[in-house]
Amino acid sequence: MSIVVTGATGHLGRHVVEQLLDRVPADRITAVVRTPEKAADLAERGVRIAVADYNAPETFDGLFAAGDKVLLISGNEFDKGRVAQHQVVIDAAKAAGVALLAYTSAPGSLTAALADDHRGTEKALTASGVPYVLLRNGWYHENYTENLAPVLEHGAVVSAAGEGRVSSASRADYAAAAVAVLTGEGHENRTYELGGDEAWSFAEYAAEVGRQTGREIAYNAVSGEVMKGILTGSGMPEMFADVLVGVDASMAKGELVVSSGDLSRLAERPTTPFAEAVAAAVKG
């Protein structure tokens, strides 16, 4: 039996594999990747590497074994039918008789179009008969802390989220929850609403960046139409800009505030404070 992680060389997947290596022998971990060269360091540490692609169903034939626990990390190809991609993994898991299939979804309260593929995948998974866990991940700190350059360049945080608040957490926090589920017991057919312990607003985000850089950082709340123009004007494809503007609208309605406490309970520690993530990004 193995613990199998799809998308294992992605931002979240790497955190999961690294934390699994602290909990279980390397030869019990299978990293599913599209480009094996990116996983060479994991292979050197004894992790099993499997090459498969959500867009090529045949690559998942025989990849799973009975009793495996699998983490399906949602794909990021919004233009390629993510539900169909995820169905490939669900079908392969069912055929193999895996013990558990955990899926990284989105908060249950999220109504933005971004959530549609997640809801479709959840429906397919819960209908499959495979023992499942829905890990409804909230927003990531890194969505903001990895993109401080334009904030510092223009001296402003710009958003269409109004006064909305966000319960974000670090990728490492969400990875800890996934690892707890993959290595623990009693999680079958459970849904976890995951988010940071403390929600923040974009005005507070601007103030925190200003405090840590010693600069005056404003918060410019704009309409969704203006925000879309800013994003497409910077070269972002219109489809992806629409997704982000839709998320901002959901934030304005409070849909990304998660108060369940599930994330810190699964991780068995408080979630990473947003200020700490900003500090790490500022230092560099």
What is residue 78's predicted lDDT score, i.e. its pLDDT? 63
Decide if pLDDT at 191 tops 80: yes
Task: Kindly give the pairing relationship between strand 165-166 and strand 200-201.
Answer: antiparallel
What is residue 1's predicted lDDT score, i.e. its pLDDT? 81
The percent of residues above 90 in pLDDT, for the chain, comes to: 94
Question: Contact, 166 vs 203, CB < 8 A?
Answer: no
d(CA 182, CA 199): 27
* Strand, coil or helix: 26: helix
d(CA 4, CA 32): 7
Q: Which residues contact 119 (CB under 8 A, 6 or more apart)?
A: none
For 18, how many CA atoms within 13 A lie in the half-sphere containing its CB? 14
Summary mean pLDDT of the chain: 96
Question: Contact, 8 vs 28, CB < 8 A?
Answer: no
What is residue 181's predicted lDDT score, i.e. its pLDDT? 98
d(CA 221, CA 161): 7
Continuous segment of H or E residues that includes residue 200: strand 200-201
What is residue 155's predicted lDDT score, i.e. its pLDDT? 97
What is residue 80's predicted lDDT score, i.e. its pLDDT? 61
Regarding predicted confidence, which is higher, 261 or 81? Answer: 261
For residue 234, give Cα distances in angstroms to 69, 221, 230.
41, 18, 6
Beta strands in 2-161 (DSSP E): 3-5, 29-33, 48-51, 69-72, 100-105, 132-137, 156-159
Residue 4's Cα: distance from chain center in Å?
17
The least confident of 75-84, 111-120, 235-244 is 75-84
Q: Average of pLDDT values for 163-180?
A: 98
What is residue 276's predicted lDDT score, i.e. its pLDDT? 97
Q: Residue with structure tokens 């520690």?
A: 269
What residues does each domain of the chain span? 3-139+171-194+259-273
d(CA 153, CA 166): 24
Q: Residue with structure tokens 């498969």?
A: 52
Neighbours of 97 (CB within 10 A): 12
Q: Average of pLDDT values for 78-83?
A: 75
Residue 274's Cα: distance from chain center in Å?
16
Question: Contact, 15 vs 78, CB < 8 A?
Answer: no
pTM of the model: 0.96
pLDDT band at 79 (very low <50, low <70, confident <90, very high): low
What is residue 284's predicted lDDT score, i.e. its pLDDT? 74
What is residue 147's predicted lDDT score, i.e. its pLDDT? 84
CATH 3.40.50.720, applies to 3-139+171-194+259-273: yes
Q: 192-234 pLDDT, tens per residue?
A: 999 999 999 999 999 999 999 999 999 999 999 999 999 999 9
Decide if pLDDT at 12 tops 70: yes
